[in-house]
Chains A and B, each alone.
Chain A
Amino acid sequence: MNAINLSLSRRQLLQSTGALIVTTAAPVEALAQLAGSAVPAGKPPLHPTELDSWVAVGADGNVTAFFGKMDMGQGVDVAIGQIVADELDVPYGRVTVVMGDSGLTCNQGGASGSTGIQTGANALRNASAEARRLLLEQAAQRLGVPAEQCQVADGVITGGGKRVTYAELIGGKYFQHKLEWNNQWGNPLNVTGKAKPKSPDQYKVVGQSIPRNDVAGKVYGTDDFVTDISVPGMLHGRVIRPETAGAVPVSVDESSIREFKGARVVRKGDFIGVVAEKEWDAIQAAEKLKITWSNAPSIFPDQPSIYDHIRKAPVARHTVEANVGDVDAAFAGGARIVEAEYEWPFQSHACMGPACAVVDARPGEATVWTGSQKPHFVGQGVAKILDLPADKVRAIWIMGPGSYGRNDSGDAAHDAAVMSQAVGRPVRVQGARHEGHGWDPKGPASVHRGRAAIDAQGNVVAYEFMSKGFSRIDMATNESNPSDTLAGMLVGFPNATQHGFGVPAESYAFATKRTGWETIAPLLTKASPLRTGHLRDPVGPQIHFASESFIDEIATAVGADPVEFRLRHVKDPRDIEVIKATAEKAAWKAGPAGTRRTASGDTLAGRGFAYSTRNGTVVAVVCDVEVNRRTGAVWARRFVVGHDCGIIVNPAALRLCIEGNVVQAVSRALWEEVTFDNKSVTSNDWLSYPILDMTEAPESVECVLINRPAMNPRGAGEPSTRPMAGAVANAIFEATGVRIRRAPFTPDRVKAALA
């Protein structure tokens, strides 16, 4: 996008929306003013069936695309701009992508399941193609030349020696044209027109490594984060959480915060917070407020027994997802059985800052500024907690301190909403560090069991993989219902845990095969610091740590090379290609366990392999680790990552996305474990919840990108997270001969295992 179009920076967008609090200007007009194009009134209402809800051509010929999903720093908005530019035949630099504002974009589900391009582009692609078709039709009439004899390039239509620009045809006006809508909201939302989108061989912009739009603003400190939002009359709010999970305030001594200017207590149901004119006063008031809490039972089990708790807990839901052949008979007839159990802890989003939100709740309407990756849904939840109609709440996304799923940002929005409504002024909420780590929704802890039966010839005749753990959707995937937020539960929306987990995603074809999962009840149903929800690649790292470790254990049991063993059983041709390409790039030395091991002094080096799929994307990885046998420290040093996500829209962005996933996944595999005592979570800062630091970062992450131009784009935001823990565990085994079956692979744990 060029500098002129970038006049619509986040800061200015904010100014425009800030102004909307006190004016009634239609959002698109405010936007158009900023973009320097005159867009008259009369825009059809925001709705999927309206072409004008998806694309606009300004008087200057610049294109604005309205995207109802989100970018969290991986460049999804750039990819959408590339796709729109190709469909409309305009230069990429003339396209601006607007996202994250429920007043300007249709609810395409926000950031969700790596579908930003995979499903999110569909509506934009189809709408842009339809817009081009309409413009071509108009041009044909204007030029007096049949449409099929006209050409389009750079927003200019030529035919019969004459030309007309998009700007001349429609600039600053609306298409007023209906699209077919599939009547779905969120991820599956799609619209279609009469136009057929281009075939991939016609793409010019898709496939280019175009840089991101948000980098300079972050590097020069000129763009706002949600934490920087300030609106007139705004108070600073803090929520006060109990030391013992489940305790509720019984009485409050409001005089204990009298010294802080304007400090007030907000109580609603079991929710308690304070507001003050100044942030520092609010922080101190929250610490000094004298609250008598109820005597809540110390409900959490001793941490070391959490996996026993999971094993013994009653099954809330049992699901078998694959059941091929007579598994039980095959196990009964097997010559020998290989089996193993693996354990994965609760993990925190541990975002760089505790979540922040600003809510301005006014009589009959409200505006929400949130870092949530699903702002439309947050707006719906806030509407419910404020008892407002959904269309009276506008939710505006501003980049927050990181987002990797259902983190604490939607909770902050609901906290701010409750307090803003109570005090009748806009309220900004940001927690302390211990509230971010301590009270964000956690990735679920789980136990995984693999079993395989092997016949006398060494063939796998039966394979079973079962997981048991806390639900990945104790908190729903979005915040559209207050019962899935802390504030909602505290003010009286009853939590209703949903149950979901998952199974390995691969194409291993064994003679018989069963995969499934079981979930258990949450430890505390109401406002729990150990409530569980979606954390990047929900349940993917834990399942595939276990399943890909177990595949290696079977390969070891039959004396096979890990890559050859996988290729023997994997059936999907794309999986086979990715596995082969990755092994080849890494110069994988074939042979049974122990073939890829070296030792030098205290350093034991080894190489591991893993592979997995995710919603149509295939990832394989070779990982080199070094284990210090004296300290137990593991350095995941080098990675070769094979990646097939269909057609690649932006190769440079894809590589950076994969790198980030690898580092975050290695951090989770080596270091991350939420700790707790009987009362609450105790891993409340970066010392008690360490993540990978710079001295431990890999030396290299080499990507083997397999481009499939004929295949629609699949996701990339999460799939390369998935197989990393398994690859690291397999490499540790190769290096040391010791199998680590409990994550994270901390120095203490590895050292103990080596002893």
Chain B
Amino acid sequence: MTQRISLSVNGRVQTIDADPDMPLLYALRNDLGLSNPHFGCGLAQCGACTVHIDGEPVRSCVTPVSAADGVQITTLAGLGTPEKPHPVQKAYVDEQVPQCGYCVNGWIMTAAAFLKKTPKPTDGQIREALSGLKCRCGTHLAILRAVKRAAAIG
């Protein structure tokens, strides 16, 4: 019933025994102790659980852990650190974006992947690219400022 699965997260490979149908989110949070992706909805509707798989933003709450075997997974902490921040993270700090901060993971991971493909986006492109994310505290305007700032410094 369980399956041996090899997970490569932030450049480190670890092996777990897990139900192959279990969402990747629980493997990251509970088996590997990586709490950056959050449980928000379990329905791929909010983005709080986003990680990068081979550079693409993926909702880990609906991704079976078996599908992550052998791929490169990056979490928020793998994106950048205070010493070596990703431009979106730096801009988030500069703009003081988060309130509760529970959604931050999804927005930053999604924006980072978006800016890689669209380094000089328009306001409309940013809004569209981030339209599938939720922020309940209403920090939308600060997020827009931060993503524009990241594009400028990135």
Q: Are B40 and A219 in contact (CB under 8 A)?
A: no
- The answer to whether the Cβ of A705 comes within 8 Å of any Cβ in the partner chain is no
Among A219, A279, A404, A664, which residue has the most Cβ atoms of chain B within 10 A?
A: A219
Indicate with 1 or 0, residue by residue over B125-139, a CB within 8 angstroms of chain A CB atoms.
Answer: 011101111111111
Chain B residues, CB < 8 A from A74: 99
Min distance, Cβ A404 to any Cβ of chain B, angstroms: 8
Q: Are A352 and B80 in contact (CB under 8 A)?
A: no
Q: Are A219 and B45 in contact (CB under 8 A)?
A: no
- Cα distance A663–B40 in the bound complex, in angstroms: 20
Q: Are A222 and B42 in contact (CB under 8 A)?
A: no
- Cα distance A540–B148 in the bound complex, in angstroms: 34
Q: Which of A205-262 contact B (CB under 8 A)?
A: 211-212, 214-216, 218-222, 224-225, 227-228, 230
Chain B residues, CB < 8 A from A400: 100, 102
Min distance, Cβ B80 to any Cβ of chain A, angstroms: 7
Q: Are A72 and B100 in contact (CB under 8 A)?
A: yes
If A402-B102, A432-B42, A667-B138 touch, does A212 touch B96 (CB 8 Å cutoff)? yes
- The answer to whether the Cβ of A693 comes within 8 Å of any Cβ in the partner chain is yes
Min distance, Cβ A398 to any Cβ of chain B, angstroms: 11
Q: Which of B109-144 contact A (CB under 8 A)?
A: 126-128, 130-144
Q: Which of A659-700 contact B (CB under 8 A)?
A: 659-664, 667, 685-687, 691-695, 697-698, 700
Chain B residues, CB < 8 A from A700: 141
Q: Are B136 and A351 in contact (CB under 8 A)?
A: yes
Chain B residues, CB < 8 A from A432: 42
Q: Are A220 and B43 in contact (CB under 8 A)?
A: no
- Cα distance A656–B135 in the bound complex, in angstroms: 14
Min distance, Cβ A289 to any Cβ of chain B, angstroms: 18
Q: Are B101 and A214 in contact (CB under 8 A)?
A: yes
Indicate with 1 or 0, residue by residue over A431-464, a CB within 8 angstroms of chain B CB atoms.
Answer: 0110000000000000000000000000000000
B interface bracket (residues with beta carbon within 8 Å of A): 35 or more
Chain B residues, CB < 8 A from A695: 127-128, 131
- The answer to whether the Cβ of A350 comes within 8 Å of any Cβ in the partner chain is yes
- Cα distance A432–B39 in the bound complex, in angstroms: 9
Q: Are A352 and B141 in contact (CB under 8 A)?
A: no
Chain A residues, CB < 8 A from B105: 221
Q: Are B143 and A694 in contact (CB under 8 A)?
A: yes
Chain A residues, CB < 8 A from B136: 350-352, 402, 404, 664, 691
Q: Report the interface size for chain A: residues with CB under 8 A from the other chain.
A: 57
Q: Which of A353-401 contact B (CB under 8 A)?
A: 353-354, 399-401
Main SS class of interface, B: loop
Q: Which of A72, A222, A691 contacts B99 (CB 8 A)?
A: A72
If A219-B92, A279-B30 touch, does A686 touch B134 (CB 8 Å cutoff)? yes
Q: Are B41 and A280 in contact (CB under 8 A)?
A: no
Q: Are A403 and B100 in contact (CB under 8 A)?
A: yes
- The answer to whether the Cβ of A73 comes within 8 Å of any Cβ in the partner chain is yes
Chain B residues, CB < 8 A from A278: 26, 30
Indicate with 1 or 0, residue by residue over A274-302, a CB within 8 angstroms of chain B CB atoms.
Answer: 00001110000000000000000000000
- The answer to whether the Cβ of B32 comes within 8 Å of any Cβ in the partner chain is no
- The answer to whether the Cβ of A652 comes within 8 Å of any Cβ in the partner chain is yes
Chain A residues, CB < 8 A from B67: none
Closest A residue, CB atoms, query B92: A219
Q: Which of B23, B76, B139 contacts A663 (CB 8 A)?
A: B139
Q: Are B93 and A73 in contact (CB under 8 A)?
A: no
Indicate with 1 or 0, residue by residue over B82-97, a CB within 8 angstroms of chain A CB atoms.
Answer: 1001000100110011
Chain B residues, CB < 8 A from A656: 96, 99, 139, 142
Indicate with 1 or 0, residue by residue over A695-711, a CB within 8 angstroms of chain B CB atoms.
Answer: 10110110000000000
- The answer to whether the Cβ of B14 comes within 8 Å of any Cβ in the partner chain is no
Q: Are B77 and A222 in contact (CB under 8 A)?
A: yes
Q: Which of A354, A404, A653, A663 contacts B140 (CB 8 A)?
A: A663
Q: Are B35 and A663 in contact (CB under 8 A)?
A: no
- The answer to whether the Cβ of A430 comes within 8 Å of any Cβ in the partner chain is yes
- The answer to whether the Cβ of B108 comes within 8 Å of any Cβ in the partner chain is yes
Q: Are B139 and A221 in contact (CB under 8 A)?
A: no
Q: Which A residues fall within an 8 A CB radius of B?
A: 72-74, 211-212, 214-216, 218-222, 224-225, 227-228, 230, 278-280, 350-354, 399-404, 430, 432-433, 652-653, 656, 659-664, 667, 685-687, 691-695, 697-698, 700-701
Other contacts beyond A652-B96, A661-B138, A695-B131: 6, CB < 8 A:
A215-B97, A220-B85, A224-B35, A353-B102, A433-B40, A433-B41
Q: Which B residues fall within an 8 A CB radius of A?
A: 18-19, 22-23, 26, 29-30, 33, 35-36, 38-43, 45-46, 48, 75-77, 80-82, 85, 89, 92-93, 96-105, 108, 126-128, 130-144
A-B contact pairs, 14 of them (CB 8 A): A220-B76, A280-B19, A280-B26, A352-B38, A352-B40, A353-B38, A402-B99, A404-B136, A653-B96, A661-B138, A685-B45, A686-B43, A698-B140, A701-B141
